[in-house]
Amino acid sequence: MTRRRWIADEVSGDTAALTGEHALHLSRVLRAKVNQEFDIATGEAVRRGTITSISETRVEFALGEEQRLPEAPQLTLVLAIFKFDRLEWAIEKCTELGVARIVPVVAHRTDAHLTNAAEKRRERWQRLALQASEQSRRAGAPEIAAPVKLKDFCGAGVPSAVVPASFRQGVKIVLSENENEKRLRDVLNSGTPQVTLAVGPEGGWTADELYFFRDAGWIAASLGDTILRAETAAIVATAIALDAIR
């Protein structure tokens, strides 16, 4: 029987703990008991965890054998900010599929009120990603980066706190409904170590933004002839990219 997986809130040597809402859900909703076993992701590995103590605020585990895990593909999703309910759907589903990092960006067509509220939503988005990661048995949750302006993300010379140097490497692809020659799958290769994929807002990227992407070395590609909603495009593109590079 497959054991449920949890991402530990605290890890120390051969012990781990879930706290807060994590502990409350495990103790009250799932009615877990001492000596019950789960898989515990520690940030470095996934280990078998046996409950040693349990309360509504804290569940502690003794950690046992480590599981072998396949190497996770490094797909960064640059996601233009759009309506929050649809954006959160995309974050949840792309996390389940296996995206490594999500960068919310402010695009020209991002509504001003969404831009102003985005930073306050980041904690909620990270929590949604954590829940989706546990549901899909991932070894860890993707990082949800702080919202950033598109030019700050793509531009040269920005501080590494805004755009880590590692995310300037690998293949960088921007989805464009105006691209008629290259499909997303055509520009991806199996074994590509790192891919960054940019998905625009409702209404798509502007012509100036697409020019900026091209000037920064991004490859434009499309998902086909149909026009998809932003959240649908993000999910479909993530699935295609992960399947191609695994």
Give alpha helix (H) positions in 20-83.
20-24
- The helix or strand, by DSSP H or E, that contains position 120, with its residue range, turns out to be helix 112-135
pLDDT of residue 96: 96
Per-residue pLDDT tens over the stretch 124-164: 999 999 999 998 888 889 999 999 998 888 765 444 545 55
- Residue-wise pLDDT tens digits, 181-218: 899 988 887 666 789 999 999 999 999 999 989 988 89
Per-residue pLDDT, 3? 77
Instruction: State the Cα–Cα distance between residues 163 and 159, nearest whole angstrom.
Output: 6
pLDDT for residue 241 is more than 50: yes
Architecture of domain 74-245: 3-Layer(aba) Sandwich (3.40)
What is residue 181's predicted lDDT score, i.e. its pLDDT?
84
> Which of 201, 190, 204 is CA-nearest to residue 245?
190
pTM of the model: 0.84
pLDDT at 41 over 80: yes
CATH superfamily of the domain spanning 5-66: Hypothetical PUA domain-like; domain 1 (2.40.240.20)
- For residues 66-80, average pLDDT: 86
Going from N- to C-terminal start, the domains of the chain cover 5-66, 74-245
Burial of 44 (0-12, 13-18, 19+ CB in 10 A): exposed
Name the token pair of 85. Answer: 């309910």
Query: Using CA atoms in the order 79, 84, 87, 91, what is the torsion angle rounded to 10 degrees?
Result: 100
Query: How confident is the model at residue 191, as a pLDDT?
Result: 65
